[in-house]
Amino acid sequence: MKREVFYPPIGIAHVTNKLSDLILYRYKNQKKIIINTSAQPNSSPHLGTITTLMTAFALASKIRDDLKVETEVQFDELENSPAETIEYNEEIYYKDQRHSFYQQESKEQINMKRFNDILEKLSVLSNIAYSVRSYNEFQRNRYIRKSLINIVNDKEYFKELLFPSASDLHIRTICPTCGLGKKTIKKLEEKHNKNKLILNGYCPIHGLYEIKITEENDEYVDINTQFRDLTKGVAMLEEDKKNNTLTIMLDGGDWSGIWAQRMHTEGLVRLGFNEFPIRLFAPVILDWSGAKFSKSLYLKNDAYKDINGAFINYDSFIKCYGDKGIDILWKEVNNWVEDPKKFFRNYSVDYFQMIMEENNNE
């Protein structure tokens, strides 16, 4: 028996007839609208990551058609995410996706093959161009570096705002020779003034090292999620102004609410901004209990043994449903962006099981 699906008109969906209306107050005929989204290439993407990427392309396509403006998707690849941990002298160190290898190939290269495959498919389906920006490129951005220096110059405030439960700001450095980084930082070893920040690190193999951060240089610094989210906002606003573009951040719905307000908007206010990036959040895919469908949970304790394996990684999804499956998901996500009532809500794994069964048998 086909189950009925309800779309209660709640919150912003109650006052918005179409998603592009939410952009109008900031759209002043800029030459391009960019939809920015990001993911960690730490495994073959699961259903939630795939639908968020799809949402970025579907939204870009919808906005292009509604506003008759050129649109593009910008994908931020977070290859700085930890790939493995290694213990030296009772201290835990990590290596990121770029510095961790499996049979000569970095984890970044291995996992980005899947992401590139999905991005390519979505670009064809939507006829929307896309670009990939690595974290390495991101951290070289002068606005990112400048705001990191500004944050450290105001560290008492930002420690409380961004790290409510920690004893200090967390900024990670990795060894310039081998890429080993310390997993947890209790006290940030640094020196700073208005124009530069110097971080002191230690590698158990190569000894002490120093990372210098200025607006112009490009010595590598691994900033964590709070810093990244906030400084990305700064870079977006500055670059939009410089390039006559309008960038919209599109993330999974688990980044909405207090995270977006506190880590992002309140941080931008403190850094002197009074205009903020438009942020939209893709529906979250939930398990039966209402928890976010999570890859790390799955890998850790076999939490999803009763869930369709195709939803847990892209390779199995393609093996099970092929490109026809991608078409079914694409159609579904396009329905979301067509109607705010369908966009501003979440969907369960059971719901996806239902639509895959319905459409796959047609």
Kindly indicate which of the ranges 26-34, 154-162, 172-180, 347-355 contains the residues binding Zn ion, using the contact rule CB under 5 A.
172-180
Q: Which of 131, 153, 167, 177 binds Zn ion (CB under 5 A)?
A: 177
31 lines the binding site for Zn ion (CB under 5 A): no
Nearer to Zn ion, 31 or 206 (CB): 206
Query: Half-sphere exposure (CA, 13 Å, Cβ side) for 87?
Result: 2
Let me know how long the chain is. Answer: 362
Q: Which of 60, 185, 203, 285 binds Zn ion (CB under 5 A)?
A: 203
Contacts of 253-260 with C-beta under 8 Å, sequence gap 24+, read 253/281, 253/282, 253/283, 253/284, 253/346, 254/284, 254/292, 255/229, 255/281, 256/281, 259/229
Residues 6 or more apart whose CB falls under 8 angstroms from that of 17 comprise 340
148 lines the binding site for Zn ion (CB under 5 A): no
Q: Is the dihedral of CA 132, 25, 142, 207 positive or negative?
A: negative
Kindly indicate which of the ranges 22-30, 41-49, 168-176, 294-302 contains the residues binding Zn ion, using the contact rule CB under 5 A.
168-176
**Do 175 and 221 contact (CB within 8 A), yes or no?**
no
| Min separation Cβ 82 and Zn ion, Å | 16
Collapsed DSSP state (helix, strand, coil) of residue 145: helix
206 lines the binding site for Zn ion (CB under 5 A): yes
Q: Which of 67, 69, 166, 178 binds Zn ion (CB under 5 A)?
A: 178
205 lines the binding site for Zn ion (CB under 5 A): yes
> How many residues sit in the footprint of Zn ion (CB under 5 A)?
7
175 lines the binding site for Zn ion (CB under 5 A): yes
Nearest to 83 by CA among 132, 38, 41: 41
Kindly indicate which of the ranges 21-29, 148-156, 197-205, 318-326 contains the residues binding Zn ion, using the contact rule CB under 5 A.
197-205
Nearer to Zn ion, 177 or 193 (CB): 177
**Do 76 and 36 contact (CB within 8 A), yes or no?**
yes
Residue nearest to Zn ion (CB): 175
| Min separation Cβ 180 and Zn ion, Å | 5
Kindly indicate which of the ranges 206-214, 249-257, 269-277, 339-347 contains the residues binding Zn ion, using the contact rule CB under 5 A.
206-214
Nearer to Zn ion, 52 or 100 (CB): 100
**Do 304 and 28 contact (CB within 8 A), yes or no?**
no
13 lines the binding site for Zn ion (CB under 5 A): no
Nearer to Zn ion, 127 or 177 (CB): 177
d(CA 247, CA 275): 13
The DSSP secondary structure of 151-186, one letter per residue, reads HHTTHHHHHHHH-TTSSS--EE-B-TTT--EES--S
174 lines the binding site for Zn ion (CB under 5 A): no
Residues 6 or more apart whose CB falls under 8 angstroms from that of 143 comprise 231, 234, 235, 238, 239
Q: Which residues lie near Zn ion (CB under 5 A)?
A: 175, 177-178, 180, 203, 205-206
